[in-house]
Structure 1
Amino acid sequence: MATTTRMFCFVLVMVLMGCCCSAKIYKVGDSKGWRAKHGSYHEWAKRKEFQVGDSLMFEYDGNVNDVTQVSSRLEYQFCNSLSPKAVYNTGHDVVTLTEPGYHFFITSNHSQCVAGQKLVVFVVHDHPMIPPPPPPRKILSFGKDYKVGDSNEWRVPEESDFYSKWSEEKQFHVGDNLLFYYNDQVDDVLEINSDLEFKSCDTISPVAVHNAGQDLIRLTKPGIRYFITSKIGHCEAGLKLRVVVRPLSKSVPKKMQLSPFDRFIKWLRDSFTPHPHH
């Protein structure tokens, strides 16, 4: 009985370890840790894909700095720590990312924050804790994630038709996602309405403006979607994307073969049905 109990406990521990080991711990700034350095945390974060269940580990001098989590991009941009969502000050803080979306971190040391000690991370997916059952059929299913430009990301290309070629090589469908990664100090993403605006790089009346540096855009309906940047000269140099979104593929049943008897009935109906004379 004791042996059976120990075996059960061992199996349970292994199962739990298997479920949870997919979460990662990221040391913010790697060997540099959490300290002021302009632009370094943007570069550090954009090369990673953060998921729900992952953790950020902040290491720093607690006598000089802290980790202040704020709620909005405005607080992040202006280093406003007056109404923090949470404050950590041990010098060795582990913060678990519990929900998808944007998470903003600064230091309450204003001069240090202005000097670049701030971090925004974008959480895209959840870690599956157990193998999920087959998803039910939905009107809008979860599709593929396409990182725009792949390794080039969203920046002025060396060849002006780079994003045109990138888009033409793929088939986008309703439910797919476009992931734009870029330096938010240099570029942004504007969605526009028409092919004319796309060709002329017209930024006057955008459908939507994205400027986080890590933007996820869902393709929710079939048609053509147009994306450019508002930065002068960048769109004209080729930083523009047009994607054709196809509807969800539907399985069409093959045409049923008529039996000999049905073909005979059809022949009778066609042969003896009177046709109007003109």
Structure 2
Amino acid sequence: MLVMITTFTILLSCCSATVYKVGDSDGWTAKDDTYYNWSEGKEFHVGDSLIFQYDRNFNDVTQVSGALELEFCDSSSPKAVYNTGHDAVTLKEPGYHHFISSNHSQCLSGQRLDVLVVHDPSRPIPPSLPRKILPFGKTYKVGDSKGWNVYDNDFYYKWSEEKQFHVGDNLLFKYDNEVNDVLEISGDLEFKSCDPTSPVAVFRTGHDLVRLTEPGVHYFISSKTGHCEGGLKLRVVVASTPSVSKLSPIDRLIRWLRTLISHHH
């Protein structure tokens, strides 16, 4: 059963979990005290989920390890990074869970959240929500064993040429974040000229999982001097998944729930 209000509850045959849209109608954005006030009266349980909705061109969700990182907006050693714009995070363990934006100014302006999660032994833990309501895709480690680094001008062209990418697939960029980064840029001109001035998104953790949420051509470069010119750039063509892409996010969630319920009977 799905009740669509700001918070809705998923009921399976043996157990239940609550799905909270973080910030309600405000979503995940920078506003003083919004998330403290939002979470204050709620009781979160193991198995509940948080939905973060935001513009992925300017934001992300970074889960950090403690109150100190939350207080100082320190995203340098994240536990997890989400960047699809519609992230479902299932609370799997009791205790405090801390979330910030890695955009430092946004975090300082109030875009941070901590929730206390409790575990009731009498309450069965339901299955986790999918992280994003998209088809389950493949995860490609960019560059395979070589990772994201400068090799030669056509290394990443050859790497991507024989692969077929679809909506829902993931690109995993692994690199030394002290000497490198990943920028998603908007077009072929910026790609050819290695222009990092107007990126669509910036990733700097050294272990970035980028979800391919839309069909079309996606471009990635390094902003570090000489790296893109040396071949550290990637172009991928993403095909849609017709049988799933026509469904709204809620329809996909309902389909997922029905699948789970059928497995319980």
TM-score bucket (shorter structure):
0.3 to 0.5
TM-score, normalised relative to structure 1: 0.43
- Ranked by relative contact order (alpha carbons within 8 Å, sequence separation 6 or more), the top structure is 2
Larger Rg: 1
